Amino acid sequence: MKRAPRPDGPAQSPALPRPARGLVVAAWALLAAAIATDLAVNPRVTLSPALGTAPVLASTGTRRARVPLLAGLLALVLVVPLAFADPEVPAAIHVTSAFTVLAITCISTANVVLVATRERELLRSRSVASAAQQALLRPVPERVGGLRVAVRYLAAAADARVGGDLYEVLETPFGVRLLIGDVRGKGLGAVETASDVLGTFREAAQVEADLRAVARRLDATVRRRGIGEEFVTAALVGVPRPAGGPLELVNCGHLPPLVRSGGEVTAVEVRGDEGADPPLALRELAAGPYRSGVFPLGRGDVLLLYTDGVTEARDASGLFYPLERRFAAFPEGSPAALADRLVADLLAHAGGELADDAALLVVRREQGG
């Protein structure tokens, strides 16, 4: 998982996009040309008011207050030689230019301080939420119950809020049980909901023989929170003992797991007469209990659980990431190697940044089948 940024360090100056850098450079060049022209020609006209743009330009793309302050003081000093270069210009105009430069310097410096302070506060808040989220998502075992497992969690782009993706892998008296889910919403509220869901799953998975009962308890946990229209999509997978039997799936409104067998990828669906089961907290809106289905996972087959941060990642042209096609095309390898290939391919597709958090849980059956 990505490490949370430290909120206590100095504010970092944001990197300006290349077009913006070009415009700023052009503005500085125009200002320099104006000063040179004023010093060289026409003593009846002054361009000293243009010096007021210096602190504004200096404040662009920086979070250090001394940068616009120093630029403003330098511009203020330059008013003096311009006044001597334009002796026929009334002194009041040069005095007005000086006061204008001074006022704009104060405003630009104050704006940099304000923006830097707000960014530090936002970073601190995001860091706390991110650290809390990462503390909840404990490392999963690499080998458990005849399975090899790998998980990858991708935090969203730096300007996105912390999300509520969650996952867990547990060895229980009823076999290995897997969970992946996604909380509707962002920020600390989503992290708190994820914490409640994971806590309930870790307890219920150890005592409930029926995977549908585990889902019901998760649904009750989210409903008890009673916060607005909050809900959680989740997929629960049970790998029974002894090894080799079919896996069980209870899908609570989540994206269908994918199984890769012999180079072909199949989506695992569980649907009844009323369609798919609803997300957690919305069970009462659909008739009947949660349904479960079984599906085979032979020796060497790979199961992929994921959140919508993967499938909703877009490239520069707006196309979604083609997960099934890419997953089918990857060469054979360990779950860790497959997960790394998926992550690298996903980030390449999305231009290096994701708009939403994404979680991947890759499982390969080593025994049975």
Residue from 122, 180, 125, 169 nearest 147 by CA: 169
- Give the model's pLDDT for residue 8: 46
- Give the model's pLDDT for residue 341: 96
105: left (phi over 0), alpha (psi -120 to 50) or beta: alpha
- Give the model's pLDDT for residue 4: 39
- Give the model's pLDDT for residue 1: 41
- Give the model's pLDDT for residue 137: 82
- Give the model's pLDDT for residue 134: 67
- Give the model's pLDDT for residue 9: 47
Q: What is the DSSP letter of 355?
A: S
Can you tell me the distance from the alpha carbon of 253 to that of 75, in angstroms, rounded to the nearest whole number? Answer: 62
Can you tell me the distance from the alpha carbon of 304 to that of 362, in angstroms, rounded to the nearest whole number? Answer: 5
Residue from 217, 209, 200 nearest 174 by CA: 209
Phi, psi (degrees; rounded to nearest 5) at 142:
-70, -35
Chain-wide mean pLDDT for the chain?
85
- Kindly list the strands in the beta sheet with 264-267, ordered across the sheet, starting from the edge strand earlier in the chain: 143-144, 147-154, 358-365, 302-306, 258-261, 264-267
Q: Which amino acid is at 142?
A: E
Can you tell me the distance from the alpha carbon of 192 to that of 189, in angstroms, rounded to the nearest whole number? Answer: 5
* Ranges under pLDDT 50 in the chain: 1-10, 159
Phi, psi (degrees; rounded to nearest 5) at 344:
-60, -40
Q: Domain coordinates of the chain in residue numbers?
A: 18-129, 139-365
Can you tell me the distance from the alpha carbon of 180 to that of 234, in angstroms, rounded to the nearest whole number? Answer: 6
Could you report the per-residue pLDDT of 148-160, keeping only the tens digit for each? 999 999 877 554 5
Residue from 256, 322, 330 nearest 295 by CA: 256
Can you tell me the distance from the alpha carbon of 279 to that of 303, in angstroms, rounded to the nearest whole number? Answer: 21
The 3-state DSSP class for residue 232 equals strand
- Give the model's pLDDT for residue 2: 41
Residue from 185, 180, 190 nearest 258 by CA: 180
Contacts of 242 (CB under 8 A, 6+ apart): 368
- Looking at domain 139-365, does it have CATH number 3.60.40.10? yes
Q: What does the DSSP assignment read for 192-224? A: HHHHHHHHHHHHHHHH-SSHHHHHHHHHHHHHH
Rg value, the chain, Cα: 30
- Give the model's pLDDT for residue 347: 95
Phi, psi (degrees; rounded to nearest 5) at 261:
-140, 120
Query: Do 197 and 219 meet the contact criterion of CB atoms below 8 Å apart?
Result: no
Query: Do 310 and 360 meet the contact criterion of CB atoms below 8 Å apart?
Result: yes
Number of alpha carbons in the 13 Å side-chain half-sphere of residue 2: 21
Can you tell me the distance from the alpha carbon of 304 to that of 324, in angstroms, rounded to the nearest whole number? Answer: 10
